Structure 1
Amino acid sequence: MKQPIFLRPVFQERIWGGTKLRDLYGYDIPSEQTGECWAISAHPNGQSVVRSGKFEGMTLGQLWDEHRELFGHYDSDRFPLLTKILDANDDLSVQVHPDDEYARTYENGELGKTECWYVIDCEEGAEIILGHNARTKEELVEMIEKGQWDKLLRRVKVKPGDFFYVPSGTIHALCSGLLILETQQSSDTTYRVYDYDRRDKNGNLRELHLDKAIDVTTVPHVQTQVEPTVVKTAGATITTFVESEYFTVYKWDVHEHLELEQDQPFMLVSVIDGEGTIITEEGEWKIRKGDHLILPYQLGTFQVKGTAQMIVSHP
């Protein structure tokens, strides 16, 4: 099939969510506390649905199970990636994710969760928490037990266009005032380390998962340096942010015209700004800010015309 597959996102309400997904992208969100747009997802906790065309109405999980030819020879028992847009209207909990082996053993065969963040937009002075200052597990436990969060957690100032790679085992959190595109393994396993003593809507303190969190945290913290590579053509700029064992992530900044060969098993594309047209030998498809699509296997050579910014990934 030589045409893009457009998807309808799923939305998740979160205690820290807001309304930016509606205000900036025009999405029909379920409430004023909508934190997550699961834009391209085959995870059982929230599946995208094909928006139009031959497979309209199918979930991405169904498509993966029943039409594996669209995804090349990628060998996995499940769709491997998940693309989200996160509206951090308030601070997220400080958390950590397990790796594949730990999740397989302790989370019913779930994948681990390595992720990365592209900062679409943020308020002046916005921050993330990325890493910690404990030198040993004993010190980590002691600082957690004493609530020495200012001493333990590393804070990093961010600005629009920044990119961060967050391997499993990294203590991290988005802080308030951030709009992020996240590319991650298809996992929904999170261990909360600290949640600012917040209570849920029933007045209960939100659950922490300290034993598992301490188990999986990398000590001492290892900072992953992101060194993007940039290729400019007459009509576009392609930035490669990361090439890891789980995913490769790019930004396509098209200001006129881009022509590429789809030479991966499949590619996930999220249009974060602008509009344009994707052209293949089977036809033309309009794209605009807020669209999410998959470029399937054997799409062949394609063009993007217009002015648009896209975050693109593949396994």
Structure 2
Amino acid sequence: MYNEPIFLKPVFKDRIWGGTKLREAFSYEIPSETTGECWGISAHPNGPSKVLNGPLEGKTLDQVWDEHAELFGNQEGEEFPLLVKILDAKTDLSVQVHPDDSYAQKVEGEPYGKTECWYVIDCEPGAELVYGHHAKSKSEFEQMVAENRWDDLLRTVPIQPGDFVYVPNGTIHAIGTGTMILETQQSSDVTYRVYDYDRRDTEGNTRELHIEKSIEVAMIPHEDAKFEPVESTIDGLKKTKLIQENYFTVYRWELDGPSEQYENRAYLLVSVLSGEGEITTDGGISLIKKGDHFIIPSTVKQFSLDGNVECIVSHPTV
């Protein structure tokens, strides 16, 4: 029986809007000065994480999913369902929207659409997100896009560190300049760009837009998603359930001292945002620190924690 956490090596992605904060904040060895994404827990073919410890060391997470279903509660599904990222938006991301499962499967041949959520790790004073739009009908939306009336169309909201934002499929959205977030999402890389500020890459080319598909999948009119965080404390661990929805349940864990835990979940995905501590299982003691990403497998039901750490923790909602 596998009785220890499964630590993972992140995969980094260069992005036109990326910067260097993943190195500055988490001491990651990033590949470029425009590194936008850290795929911390990923089995997606565009960037699968590799196991760093134990008998599975060197295997990719998709291989582990295929070969060791017992570590994931023998859950059904050909593909690992979730993906956890940290994003560094040095400049604005494109205004975009994601499809639901049925559209992604029918049009793109992909297993999942993309519903996601964001925990704001840090942001500059005055930072904003694009979240939703002001069009009341599809025809009004199309007209505003055709006339480049982006200030009239797009809805912006202010943010600050510690905010949580839920982004169901169909939501028009964009992460703004000077923002670092942790994103929990369905394991999908299907993105439709609506607007990209007419910017050009290093070769002078604009990036592809997907206006027709965006209009087909967008929520029109926009409605804010509703959710209600719930707090609980067990010994030295404060848990805030940020959201529970169809695809994932996401928590913020704040550990301040020893805490015994019993988790009746198939498995947990854990990303450490700050601090350091340790997790003790039947397999021994594992040190955990800022920037670590690991999975507590289904075979580990009981464990103890100690230290002073902040984590974002998630699991599929079943």
| TM-score strictly above 0.5 | yes
- How do 1:103-182 residues align onto structure 2 when only pairs under 5 Å count? 103-182=104-183
* 1:54 CA drift (Å): 0.8
* 1:107 CA drift (Å): 0.7
Contact kept? 1:164, 1:226, Cα under 8 Å? no
| Counterpart residue number, 1:193 | 194
Are 2:240 and 1:250 aligned?
Answer: no
Contact kept? 1:2, 1:300, Cα under 8 Å? no
CA distance in structure 1 between the partners assigned to 2:97 and 2:202 by the alignment: 24
CA gap 1:69/1:233 in 2 versus in 1, 3 angstroms: closer
Q: Give CA deviations for 1:111-132 in whole Å, capped at 9, x if unaligned.
A: 1000000001111111101001
SS at match of 1:62: helix
Q: Give CA deviations for 1:265-306 in whole Å, capped at 9, x if unaligned.
A: 111000000000001122110000000000001202111100
CA distance in structure 1 between the partners assigned to 2:183 and 2:304 by the alignment: 25
CA distance in structure 1 between the partners assigned to 2:75 and 2:131 by the alignment: 31
CA distance in structure 1 between the partners assigned to 2:54 and 2:202 by the alignment: 41
CA distance in structure 1 between the partners assigned to 2:160 and 2:277 by the alignment: 26
SS at match of 1:42: coil
| Counterpart residue number, 1:50 | 51
CA distance in structure 2 between the partners assigned to 1:188 and 1:246 by the alignment: 16
| Counterpart residue number, 1:313 | 314
- How do 1:8-19 residues align onto structure 2 when only pairs under 5 Å count? 8-19=9-20
Contact kept? 2:83, 2:185, Cα under 8 Å? yes
Q: Give CA deviations for 1:23-58 in whole Å, capped at 9, x if unaligned.
A: 110111000000000000000000100011110100
Contact kept? 1:163, 1:226, Cα under 8 Å? no
User: TM-score scaled by structure 2?
Assistant: 0.98
Contact kept? 1:273, 1:308, Cα under 8 Å? yes
CA distance in structure 2 between the partners assigned to 1:204 and 1:98 by the alignment: 26
Contact kept? 1:262, 1:295, Cα under 8 Å? no
* 1:257 CA drift (Å): 2.0
Contact kept? 2:37, 2:85, Cα under 8 Å? yes
Contact kept? 1:278, 1:286, Cα under 8 Å? yes
CA distance in structure 2 between the partners assigned to 1:181 and 1:257 by the alignment: 25
Q: Give CA deviations for 1:227-256 in whole Å, capped at 9, x if unaligned.
A: 211112441210000001100000110011
CA distance in structure 1 between the partners assigned to 2:68 and 2:86 by the alignment: 26
5+ residue gaps, structure 2, are none
Contact kept? 2:166, 2:225, Cα under 8 Å? yes
Contact kept? 2:271, 2:312, Cα under 8 Å? yes
Paired amino acid for 2:49: S
Q: Give CA deviations for 1:207-240 in whole Å, capped at 9, x if unaligned.
A: 1000000000011101012321111244121000
Paired amino acid for 2:26: Y
CA distance in structure 1 between the partners assigned to 2:259 and 2:209 by the alignment: 47
Contact kept? 2:232, 2:240, Cα under 8 Å? yes
SS at match of 2:119: strand
CA distance in structure 1 between the partners assigned to 2:128 and 2:92 by the alignment: 10
CA distance in structure 2 between the partners assigned to 1:259 and 1:191 by the alignment: 44
SS at match of 2:26: coil
Give me the identity figure in percent.
Answer: 56
Contact kept? 2:70, 2:299, Cα under 8 Å? no
CA distance in structure 2 between the partners assigned to 1:205 and 1:81 by the alignment: 30
Query: Which piece of structure 1 moves more, 5-14 or 295-304?
Result: 295-304
SS at match of 2:91: coil
CA distance in structure 2 between the partners assigned to 1:227 and 1:65 by the alignment: 35
CA distance in structure 2 between the partners assigned to 1:56 and 1:236 by the alignment: 30
SS at match of 1:211: helix
CA distance in structure 1 between the partners assigned to 2:7 and 2:235 by the alignment: 28
Q: What is the aligned-residue RMSD (CA, Å)?
A: 0.8
CA distance in structure 1 between the partners assigned to 2:302 and 2:228 by the alignment: 28
CA distance in structure 2 between the partners assigned to 1:195 and 1:257 by the alignment: 47
| Counterpart residue number, 2:289 | 288
User: TM-score scaled by structure 1?
Assistant: 0.99
SS at match of 1:2: coil
* 1:258 CA drift (Å): 2.4
SS at match of 1:268: strand
CA distance in structure 2 between the partners assigned to 1:301 and 1:126 by the alignment: 40
5+ residue gaps, structure 1, are none
| Counterpart residue number, 1:237 | 238
Paired amino acid for 1:149: W
Contact kept? 1:39, 1:292, Cα under 8 Å? yes
* 1:71 CA drift (Å): 0.6
* 1:108 CA drift (Å): 1.3
CA distance in structure 1 between the partners assigned to 2:28 and 2:280 by the alignment: 25
* 1:18 CA drift (Å): 0.4
CA distance in structure 1 between the partners assigned to 2:18 and 2:252 by the alignment: 25
Are 2:105 and 1:98 aligned?
Answer: no
* 1:110 CA drift (Å): 3.4
Aligned length: 315
